[in-house]
Structure 1
């Protein structure tokens, strides 16, 4: 059954699909960044710290403002629907848990602890958006007198107004400093293949198909210039590579390390 069948107006059907796509993008980017942190925690504490800082910045910039806007706009409308009060209260409680996990991730004294917090946040958020996509959004889309498109537009405005005008400057600056640190370390390193051994690996074979591309994009966002990651895929990811090039023209060099039959391994180097 299509989203158009489940919505009371065409604009609400479009808004429902757009909201679901946004949730998938958020969940995928979170999963990609968490996976990179997990693989870096044991191999390269310096890289793990940079990835942790980038993950915290992503949560502060996108994840938490999104949750706050939902509580201000979306949830009050959903709470008024029959038999939805307990569901909404549980979702609000999950927002509190997310905030606590982000704070724990922010203050984690060691990479392994940060990786555990990131993984817990990833699992909680994926379960959370499954409830929103499967229950809350469809209920609002068909509810009489409720315009989902209007609610989501107000949410977008609240998130935009809550984000500082220079919200990305600090994280971008710290990321640039980290990039320069990585490049300097590589230029002065004469340890042969040691740097290659530290390249983090992202295996997407067990990632749900709907999240797979967004997970890769999130992981790539955590790769600084002069560094790389290894992607493990269940097939030759040519459509994904085309999307990566379209999204970041000329930024990543691709080298095939293994071509099937059970796995394709590719080294994606950030120029």
Structure 2
């Protein structure tokens, strides 16, 4: 069933699609960071510590403010509907669990503990947004007395005013690559002198997106790349030449990553992304 079928107004259909896409981006970025943490915890403890810190900062600036904005806007509107009341109370309880998991992740004593907390956080968040996408958002969208578009606008305003620390803002500044050299992605076949060409290094993490759901595939790559510390690299494995993705990565973080093709099909494309 399409979003247009579920919505009572065209603007609410658009809002429903936008909310689902935002959930996919959040879930994908979280999944990418968690994958990188799991890969690094045994191979490179120093890199794992940086990935751990970046994951906590991502939760502080994205996941937790998103949950708070939902409770201030979407949830009250849905809670007024008798058929959704118990579901919303359950989802609020899940928000408390998400917050507790982030706190546990924040104070995890070692990479292995952090990885376990991160995986639990990922599983709960994916289940949580599935309920919102499948139940809460469609209910709001197809109720004539409710404007989902207006609720999402209020939610965005609430999100913008969510308290943030200077440390979180500084972390985001670095992760978005604004302090990196303004250089372009290199032509395939060269790594810019970052590593030996032609073979993956034994300690380089690999992200196989062939097993990632299509809806969150690009966001998962973005999250994984955000977790790659400067001076290290990640290998991406795809089922086709990811040219559109490369363009998005360069647009998102200009000059931050040098790209080298390690394999060009036919079964898989393998690319190394070296963080300058």
Task: Give the TM-score of the pair, scaled to structure 2.
Answer: 0.86
Deviant stretches of 4+, over 4 Å: 172-176
Tell me how far 1:153 sits from its aligned partner.
1.0
User: Which of the two has greater helix per residue?
Assistant: 1
Q: Report what 2:203 is aligned to.
A: 198
Does residue 263 (structure 1) correspond to residue 268 (structure 2)? The answer is: yes
Structure 2 gaps, min length 5: 181-199
Determine if contact 1:59/1:102 at 8 Å carries over to the other structure. Answer: yes
Match of 1:218 among 216, 220, 223: 223
Determine if contact 1:32/1:217 at 8 Å carries over to the other structure. Answer: yes
How many positions carry a matched residue from both structures?
255
Q: Report what 2:237 is aligned to.
A: 232
Does residue 107 (structure 1) correspond to residue 112 (structure 2)? The answer is: no
Q: Map Cα deviations across residues 162-209 of structure 1 (whole Å, 9 max, x no partner).
A: 143746434258879xx99xxxxxxxxxxxxxx933222212221101
Question: Cα gap change, 1:15/1:174 in structure 2, threshold over 3 Å: closer, same or farther?
Answer: closer
Tell me how far 1:66 sits from its aligned partner.
0.8
Structure 1 gaps, min length 5: 181-194
Question: Cα gap change, 1:83/1:173 in structure 2, threshold over 3 Å: closer, same or farther?
Answer: closer
Task: Give the TM-score of the pair, scaled to structure 1.
Answer: 0.87
Q: Report what 1:94 is aligned to.
A: 94
Q: Report what 1:76 is aligned to.
A: 76
Determine if contact 1:61/1:167 at 8 Å carries over to the other structure. Answer: no
Whole-angstrom CA distance in 2 between matches of 1:240 and 1:267: 14
Determine if contact 1:256/1:266 at 8 Å carries over to the other structure. Answer: yes
State the Cα RMSD in Å: 2.2
SS of 1:56's partner is helix
